[in-house]
Amino acid sequence: MKTKLYNLVGKVVGDVELSDAIFDVKVKPTLVHAVYVAITNRARESWADTKGKGEVRGGGKKPWQQKGTGRARHGSIRSPIWKGGGVTFGPKTERNYDVKINLKEKRAATKMCFADKFRADGIFVVENFDFTEAKTRLAVELLKGLGITGKRVLFLTDGKSEVVRRVATNLPKTEIMNAVDANVVALLKAQSVIMSQAGAEAIGKILK
């Protein structure tokens, strides 16, 4: 399939061919959601931590004698049924939130996100990211020319690009990523995706 090719001021300079196997696939929301959950869970950290009966300080002495007091028998004031005692089955920092997802499913979901963005006119391919200066105003001019000012934008570059980082990093609601590292979370978060022609080719190679 073909789409418009833009220059760095947002003007159409021609057409570029995109892979049908990536930008024209059927979207399956269930798979996309499963991959999204797997990625976000992998980045999740467990902070909550509670102490069990054996970890709480104190409670070495038996509160009162076993028999003859008329009260219930107790062996430690750090029992979970006492105030200030240990917690039964409480959260621990070693909890694992990982959800298993295989590479084939992850790549399929990434293709679906690209296809969905393309159908919503949210994919823009530029010739290159060879900005003449590392100035934010150049990125602003590009967004204005493409008509996506104020939207959440994802820049996909071919490899690590220091120029793009310096040009676009100060823009609000903007993320910069290597094209081959594009994932479901980043694509769903962005309203518009701007990629270089070389970046589009790199995506085609890795996702095929």
Write out pLDDT tens, residues 145-199.
999 998 999 999 987 778 888 888 889 999 999 999 999 999 999 999 999 999 9
Same domain? For 203 and 168 the reply is: yes
Going by C-alpha positions, the residue among 20, 7, 25 that lies closest to residue 194 is 7
Q: Collapse the DSSP code of 194 into the 3-class scheme (helix H, G, I; strand E, B; otherwise coil) and give the result.
A: strand
Residue 113 vs residues 9, 32, 36: alpha-carbon distances, Å: 26, 8, 11
Number of domains within the chain = 2
Q: Is the pTM for the entire model greater than 0.85?
A: no
Would you say 184 and 114 are in contact if contact means Cβ atoms under 8 Å apart?
Answer: no
Domain with 200 in it: 2-44+98-207
Residues 113-127, mean pLDDT to the nearest whole number: 95
Same domain? For 164 and 115 the reply is: yes
Supply φ then ψ for residue 183, to 5 degrees. Answer: -135, 175
